[in-house]
Copies of this chain bind each other. A is one copy, B any other.
């Protein structure tokens, strides 16, 4: 397997845009290509989930190849719900690692704000197994993670304030991120008294509906930030089949493989972006990634161990909750932030960060990808 390095990153502001899914993707691609020095590109991979359902737009790969003037190169869209970006990156990585391509453009994109909220909710429910009654009888993703949060608090003694601490931390990070959707200062008080969505999850505990795109250029040349592992795992897409609501098996499995390939462990990770689609999910993820023991994530948060200066700063971009969650773009935006951290030029820069991790989740645990990156040290 050959080396794979990230040599360019690009990203639109996340939030509400008038621009189409194509325009958003193009903006991020152009920025990443310029930063990479406009290399010859051999293939393009696209992470996108709802282009068909919300914009009537598929074949985004071919459209981008044409608009960017890249010639008849292979172009492929990957779908794995909210993990679409991570999955697209993984395949681009393997096509370079195996010698099929030299340089690949990977872009994640989603356009969601044009549709009414109930239409978006229905579209997102396509990430459930709908040959079941779960979605049909009213289960939604906030509903699922609300149940999980109740169970977590019951089992491990966490309180609602710990969920709020996750949201507050991510909002504080987002305040410094000019590309984040939500940058207004907030307080623990405000978060805890916000409109309930699926109790105990309130408005500030849930990732929003967002438009945006993020892109990276990766290459076999040994420069930039190195990808030292790439993994992808699946888990049961139905709530009824999940053996333990307080562990996400796909995260655990993808983490196990990623650490093994990279030859590092959770204690080696200097900075991480992970999939806080809800505040509760961040707590599960810091446990399932091995940063903290199962059942103790809330204590780590309380102790500030996931903030700058703590054991492992988490979601320094603001995370899905505050940076925003344009679904197909999220996995790539996480990678952009980690790469920028390892380059020493990130918002909320973690001093001395050398090894970073990005974890992207799909559904209630239907998919997870983990990518680990190594910078040259600062």
Contacts and interface: CB of A to CB of B under 8 A. Distances in A.
B58 A79 contact: yes
B249 A66 contact: no
A260 to B, nearest CB: 14
Chain A interface mostly: mixed
Interface in A47-89: 49-53, 55-59, 61-63, 65-66, 72-81, 87
A256 B154 CA distance: 62
A122 to B, nearest CB: 7
Contacts of A366: 59, 62-63
Contact of A77 (B80, B97, B249): B80
B58 A81 contact: yes
A73 B234 contact: yes
A362 B59 contact: yes
A322 B339 CA distance: 51
A239 B129 CA distance: 37
A125 interface: yes
B72 A234 contact: yes
Nearest to A55: B130
A94 B55 CA distance: 31
Contacts of A235: 62, 66, 72
Contact of A76 (B65, B91, B100): B91
Given A72-B253, A100-B94, A53 B52 contact: yes
Nearest to A366: B62
B126 A58 contact: yes
A129 B23 contact: no
Say which size band chain A's interface belongs to: 35 or more
Contacts of A74: 90, 232-234
A250 interface: yes
A131 interface: yes
A76 B75 CA distance: 15
B234 A56 contact: no
A94 B87 contact: no
A87 B43 CA distance: 13
Interface in A231-270: 232-238, 241, 249-250, 253
A22 interface: yes
Contacts of A94: 94-95, 98, 100
Q: List 3 A-B pairs, minimum CB-CB distance, nearest first.
A: A98-B98, A62-B366, A74-B232
Interface of A: 20, 22-23, 49-53, 55-59, 61-63, 65-66, 72-81, 87, 90-91, 94-95, 97-100, 122-123, 125-131, 232-238, 241, 249-250, 253, 362-363, 366-367
